[in-house]
Amino acid sequence: MSGAALSLAAFSYPASAGDRYGQRPPVVLSPDLTAPWVLQLGGQAAPRGGIVYRTQPRAVRQAATQPRMQRAEPRRVTNVSLAAPRVKPKPVSQIDPRFLPQTVSYTGSEKPGTIIINTSERHLYYVMGNGQARRYGVGVGKEGHAWSGTEKISRKAEWPDWRPPAEMIKRVREKEGRILPVHMAGGPENPLGARALYLGSTLYRIHGTNQPWTIGKAVSSGCIRMRNEDVTELYEHAKVGAKVIVM
């Protein structure tokens, strides 16, 4: 076959698949949404308004568009406890049975409703009448803070606020190094406990406590302490204006 025939044959047969896509035609996006959205024009000029994108081999496009994969680090699992934090246990209440409430005989002359506090015995008596009294264990004033006298209940309060007097704040700071609050709202942590019966115009009260293990001891600054359940019972019976005898 002549050289001219060989040359003609070379241009007559289609190129191989590799040669055919070695140089890819541009991809044209049609501006008209009614026409096919992608037109491969085989090297023709893009129609007016068309946008020509030169395509790249798929492997190159994926490498350019996909984020570089990084070696995943092994996940570290930490055990998280959802349990409530531990609360420091308070001292267990150890009260001598003789300081628990009980009904006893009463042969005195005071009328029913009167409250008698024997600080040496650490007992409070609520006169009931019919020769009986309700007796409770109490905590009393420590040495230097004990007192005696007769007062009346001037008012009563449930879960009272606590406002320690200035002299108490100063004394506790100097002797114990503790800083008392100027004011503390009523509640279970309040030193005055669940109830308070105020005595005349003094700073003294018959009140509950958040330290029931101190009942039967001389530990207060002059107030009369009772267990919360006991002072709540007394609160229901004692009236404002009732006589209180401290001896």
223 assigned to active site: yes
Helices within the chain (DSSP H only): 3-12, 17-20, 58-65, 166-176, 228-237
User: For residues 19 and 11, is the Cβ–Cβ distance under 8 A?
Assistant: no
Cβ–Cβ under 8 Å, residues 61 and 79:
no
Q: Is 237 part of the annotated catalytic residue set?
A: no
- Residue 150 is inside which H or E element, if any? strand 149-158
Burial of 199 (0-12, 13-18, 19+ CB in 10 A): buried
Contact predicate 46/28, CB 8 Å: yes
Amino acid found at 80? V
* Rounded Cα gap, residues 222 and 199, in angstroms: 11
Closest residue by Cα to residue 36 from 25, 56, 50, 23: 50
Q: In the chain, what is the straight-line distance between the N-terminal and C-terminal CA atoms, in Å?
A: 144
Among 123, 145, 183, 223, the active-site one is 223
17: left (phi over 0), alpha (psi -120 to 50) or beta: alpha
Query: From the candidates 123, 145, 183, 207, which is the catalytic residue?
Result: 207
Catalytic residues: 207, 223
